[in-house]
């Protein structure tokens, strides 16, 4: 089956052997399970995760399959025929949203169905990181790839919404918590799509401020699972968001 999906890549067993060899040398190893195919969740939780844990893996990042909108330009239909699963039909049935040029499953659906995998990761004494946008704040580590606790990696970028939400000490989240982090000062407009460029300041913080104050739009804080906006603003006119305690550790 693996050869049908990744015909030119090493097999999972070969990659696990590599993890085992690195782990024996004291190297902190991380596995990224992407894309996650929904029909294989039980196989992953019951078989693959324990194998990774036994090999010495320390952290696992999981991200669901994203479906390109241009079906005719991809090999996805051929792949789905090979594995006998209609991904497009499944995503449509489960109310996938078109974000950019990709079909994405709803956050609550993804989170609910991730639980067997997350539980298996914890049983195998590993930590879980979410690679899915909108779930990043629900991982075990502050940085989704799990490097934040390693020596030499303390300068990972902390001024992102997921980290701000995760680190908030209360359920009330303001833009001040974003501003306290370090950001590069130079303009980034040359690497931004011309349709998305701001008229004035084009540094990183300006773009985050723009996203912050457009609740309900792609990449705004309330697109994260458990985060909502009730119409409140702070004294500077920035949106105030609130988070529910029922998701994750927060």
249: pLDDT strictly greater than 70: no
- Is the pLDDT reported for residue 246 higher than 80? no
Q: Where are the alpha helices (DSSP H) in the chain?
A: 2-5, 12-24, 41-43, 49-54, 76-83, 87-93, 107-123, 161-167, 176-179, 204-212
Count CB-CB contacts under 10 A for residue 114.
21
pLDDT in tens, 50-59: 999 999 999 9
Whether residue 165 contacts residue 240, with contact meaning beta carbons closer than 8 Å, is answered with no
CA–CA separation, 5 and 78 (whole Å): 10
Query: What torsion do the CA atoms of 215, 218, 219, 224 make, to the nearest 10 degrees?
Result: 70
Q: What angle do CA 52, 120, 221 make, to 5 degrees?
A: 105
On the question of pLDDT at 73 being above 70, the answer is no
Sequence ranges of the domains in the chain:
2-138, 161-243
Q: Tell me the pairing of strands 30-36 and 97-99.
A: unpaired
Mean pLDDT of 211-217: 95
Helix (H, G, I), strand (E, B) or coil at 114: helix
How sure is the predictor about 250, in pLDDT bands with cuts at 50, 70 and 90? Answer: very low
Q: Are the beta carbons of 117 and 100 closer than 8 angstroms?
A: no
Complete DSSP assignment for 29-90: -EEEEEEEPGGGHHHIIIIIHHHHHHTT--EEEEEE--EES-GGGSSHHHHHHHHT--HHHH
**pLDDT digits 0-9 by tens, 4-44:** 777 788 988 999 999 999 999 999 999 999 999 999 999 99
Q: Answer yes or no: is pLDDT of 109 > 80.
A: yes
């Amino acid at each position: 089956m693996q050869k049908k999906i990744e015909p030119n890549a090493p097999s999972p067993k070969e990659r696990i052997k590599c993890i085992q060899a690195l782990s024996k040398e004291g190297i902190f190893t991380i596995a990224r399970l992407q894309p996650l195919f929904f029909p294989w969740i039980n196989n992953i939780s019951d078989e693959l995760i324990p194998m990774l844990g036994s090999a010495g893996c320390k952290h696992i990042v999981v991200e669901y399959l994203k479906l390109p909108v241009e079906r005719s330009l991809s090999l996805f239909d051929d792949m789905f025929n090979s594995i006998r699963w209609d991904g497009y039909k499944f995503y449509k049935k489960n109310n996938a949203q078109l974000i950019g040029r990709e079909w994405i499953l709803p956050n609550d659906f993804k989170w609910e169905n991730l639980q067997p995998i997350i539980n298996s990761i914890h049983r195998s004494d590993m930590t879980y990181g979410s690679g899915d946008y909108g779930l990043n704040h629900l991982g075990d580590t502050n940085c989704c790839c799990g490097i934040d606790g390693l020596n030499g990696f303390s300068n990972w970028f902390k001024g992102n919404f997921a980290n701000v939400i995760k680190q908030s000490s209360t359920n009330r989240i303001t833009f001040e918590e974003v501003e306290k982090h370090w950001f590069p000062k130079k303009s980034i407009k040359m690497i931004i799509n011309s349709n998305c460029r701001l008229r004035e300041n084009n540094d990183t913080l300006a773009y985050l401020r723009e996203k912050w104050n457009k609740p309900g739009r792609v990449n705004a804080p309330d697109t994260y699972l458990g985060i909502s906006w009730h119409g409140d603003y702070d004294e500077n006119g920035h949106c105030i968001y609130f988070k529910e305690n029922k998701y994750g550790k927060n």
